[in-house]
Amino acid sequence: MVRQNRFDLAVWAALAMVMLVTRTHSLSNVMHLPDTSLASFLALGYLVRNRIAFAGLFGLAFAIDVVVIYVMGGSGFCFTPAYAMLLPAYGVMWAAGRLAARKLPITASSIAPAALLVALATLVSELMSSGGFYFLGGRFEDLTLTGFAPRLLRYFPPTLFGTLVWASAAAAAVALVPALRPAAREAAQ
């Protein structure tokens, strides 16, 4: 149990660090890195057994956004009551990670099903977050599905690309670092 708790904390800390760098866009002057948020919640679900870690990572994401908007002077355009839709959107990614941990072994034959799972979870997550913003954010008039479709077509491809890249990096780390393998299997139980 102590070993698992240490492992959970180490994974959470690593995901938090990556999220801090990409969500704040602190390296934007040097390079643009896609946001890791969706992939971070996916990896959290896959690797970390403690469910409280989800609340902690969501709290960190919220805190980062508050600091970026109110301290660093970032845009608060997306910070509306619809922000609450990020909770189920990230929950979908976390649940997809939990499902992958239970059903997909760390083998080459799992690559295609894992990619499909990540793509589907990312789509559902995007529908919740962007759809929530469009329909509940109070920023748009004449709310229709035909009005939402172009926004989905604009924002989903880069979101999917970034999530697949970061999820692939996490999967490579799990596959290549033998110390993570037993913990990943234990986390699925």
Mean pLDDT per 10-residue section of the chain, whose length is 189 residues: 81 92 67 81 93 95 92 85 95 97 88 96 97 93 94 94 94 74 50
**Do the Cβ atoms of 22 and 54 come closer than 8 Å?**
no
The candidate with the shortest Cα–Cα distance to 162, out of 119, 120, 127, is: 119
Q: What pLDDT does 188 receive?
A: 46
Q: What pLDDT does 17 receive?
A: 92
Predicted TM-score (pTM) of this structure: 0.88
Q: What pLDDT does 184 receive?
A: 47
Q: What pLDDT does 96 receive?
A: 98
Q: What pLDDT does 33 receive?
A: 67
| DSSP class per residue in 114-130 | HHHHHHHHHHHHHHHHH
